Amino acid sequence: MKTAALAGLTALALACTQPGVAASTRPLAWSGAGPYYTLDIDTPARQLSATPNLSDLRVRNGAGETMAFAWVETALPPPAPQRVAAHLYKVPLPPADAASATTGDATPRQSWIVDTRDDNEDLLHLDLALEHDTQGVYTLRIEASDDLQHWRTLQEDAQLVQLQALPQVGAAGTLETLAERERLSANGIDLDNVSARYLRLTTARRSAIPPLVSASVTRAPHRPAPAPLEWSAPIAATNCEETSCDYPLPRNTPVAAVQIAPAEVDTIGQVMVLGQVDTSRQPAPRHSLLRGSLHALRLKAERSAEHAGLAWDSAAIANVYWLSQAAGAPDLHSPPLRLEGATWQALRLETFGPISQLGRAAPTIRIGVRQRQLVFVARGAGPFVLARATPAETSAPMTLDALMPGRAPDAALPAASAVVAPAAASAAASTPTATVAPPDSATSRTPWLWAALLAGLALMGAMAWSLLRRPAAPRADEGT
């Protein structure tokens, strides 16, 4: 009887201590007045979904009712980019930089103006050509203007790299000719869809002056700016082999950028970035290199799947570095590498020689993800939660125009916002006061039901304690 009572008490205690929000839901925290709310689907929210496209996510109120919602679709068909030559002019230093050059900073500096020759399109990329035999690492400040009078800073420390590998001695004792793929160069600068007629480039303090020869820009018709990048914490390698290291990725994470950080200063090398895909659910790997040599593409295209249903998709080739500078200047770090937003299970860095060329310890990575957003109407009483739909769920998202009748196509999203709160957040913080309806009879009975349940739990606990303390009755055969 003792055992049965304890088992029943344990089962009831476990049932009662389960959180009111199940593992397939997360509470929402609020800011602003509704009824429309804009919800950012960040990393914790993506983990809630069972599908990479997040199609099973729903918003529910305290009564379990699904709210009407629409996805904010920012992934428009990309316009065809066009790479065109730009005019490059040497100009005097800006006044502020010229003044600092005369007050103790004797390092020679230089500025250039890049005329993009168009102010109605978005600038995606700037490519700068250096003299062929140049070797060095240079730092530039990038500014933008539409009238040559008012300038806004785009990047403070954009970096140009052009280095040549040392000659190698061949089997016959002669110096081998260096192939183009053995030159480390990073002469392109991402401009993140900025709209500007002119760009101004100015060498940073203590940076050498790069021998620029020409400039070109890649531009495309204007479209809404992409969602900002959400950067992860540093991710360490879980497995390293002679020429590669593997890194786990969170579920449902479309990788838009990756930052590779060597563990030791004065490290530079070339790596190939590959993503692991499940070929049983996705098409075969495309081996689509964003940047890199044809030699590497042929090499990786012959790679076979290491496990049934899994394969490595070549994504990019990048120059990775962490270099110190003299005279106390800030260290140089390789910029983030932009990717296509594929959803991978893991990421691999592979070198064209021993992985130890990147340091005695494996580099760490951080991944950048474009946030997705949805807009929903908060109806009824809270707490409101982000939930995973059941397989039998028949609700579907609406279009933003249908959800918000009368909204202009280019109008801003609702200012009131919601975010996925920590799992321990209280229900009170999850309830938007502007949209809470008067509690219905079922809701008003909830405190009494909890009180009755807790009283029953206390009674069963007292019964179990009494049973445990009661001395056992003597058996009939004792004392005979």
Closest to 218 in 3D by CA, of 318, 353, 60, 80: 80
Q: In Å, what is the CA distance from 274 to each residue of 12, 63, 161, 206, 322?
A: 49, 45, 23, 36, 21
Q: Give the mean pLDDT of 183-209.
A: 86
The whole-number pLDDT of residue 452 equals 59
Pair 152, 143: CB distance under 8 Å: yes
Please tell me whether residues 430 and 340 are part of one structural domain.
no
Residue 92, CA distances (Å) to 99, 128, 151, 366, 404 in order: 12, 19, 15, 38, 52
Per-residue pLDDT, averaged over 58-76, amounts to 81
pLDDT band, very low/low/confident/very high, at 134 (cuts 50, 70, 90): confident
The whole domain housing 416 covers: 2-76+372-435
Q: Give first-to-last CA distance, the chain, whole Å.
A: 27
Averaged pLDDT for residues 47-69: 85
| Beta-bridge partner residues of 161 | 137, 186
Residues of the chain with pLDDT > 90, as a percent, come to: 18
Asked if pLDDT for residue 453 goes beyond 50, the answer is yes
Does residue 457 lie within any of the structural domains?
Answer: no
Q: Do residues 95 and 105 both lie within one domain?
A: yes
Q: Does 419 score more than 70 pLDDT?
A: yes
- Crossing angle for the helix pair 441-469 and 2-17, nearest 10 degrees? 150
In this structure, the answer to whether residues 89 and 214 fall within a common structural domain is yes
pLDDT per residue as tens digits for the range 218-238:
988 877 666 778 898 999 999
Other Cβ atoms within 10 Å of 247 Cβ, number: 22
Structure tokens of 228? 């900002």
Report the pLDDT value the prediction gives residue 302, as an integer from 0 to 100: 42
Angle at 264 between CA 258 and CA 268, to 5 degrees: 65
Report how far apart, in Å, the C-alpha atoms of 77 and of each of 73, 74, 81, 254, 444 are.
11, 9, 12, 17, 50
The CA radius of gyration of the chain, in Å to the nearest whole number, is: 30
342 or 20: which leads in pLDDT: 342
CATH number of domain containing 359 = 2.60.120.260
Question: pLDDT for 256-310, tens place per residue?
Answer: 899 999 999 988 888 999 998 877 665 444 444 344 443 444 344 444 444 457 7
Rounded Cα gap, residues 322 and 337, in angstroms: 15
- CATH code for the domain of 187: 2.60.120
Give the CA distances from residue 276 to residues 320, 356, 368, in Å, rounded to whole numbers and listed in that order: 21, 22, 17
Given 221, 254, 269, the domain boundary residue is 221
Secondary structure (3-state) at 375: strand
Number of domains in the chain: 3
* 355-360 LR contacts (CB < 8 Å, sep 24+): 355/240, 355/241, 355/242, 355/243, 355/244, 355/245, 357/267, 357/269, 358/262, 358/263, 358/267, 358/269, 358/271, 358/320, 359/262, 359/263, 359/264, 359/267, 360/263, 360/264
| In a domain? residue 98 | yes
Rounded-to-integer distance, Cα 180 and Cα 34, Å? 59
Ranking 294-308, 338-352, 458-472 by mean pLDDT, the lowest is 294-308
Is residue 279 domain-shared with residue 199, that is, in the same domain?
Answer: no
Average pLDDT over residues 336-357: 87
In a domain, 329, yes or no: yes
Unique residue bearing structure tokens 């809701």: 443
pLDDT grade for 170, boundaries at 50, 70 and 90: low
What pLDDT score was predicted for residue 281? 60
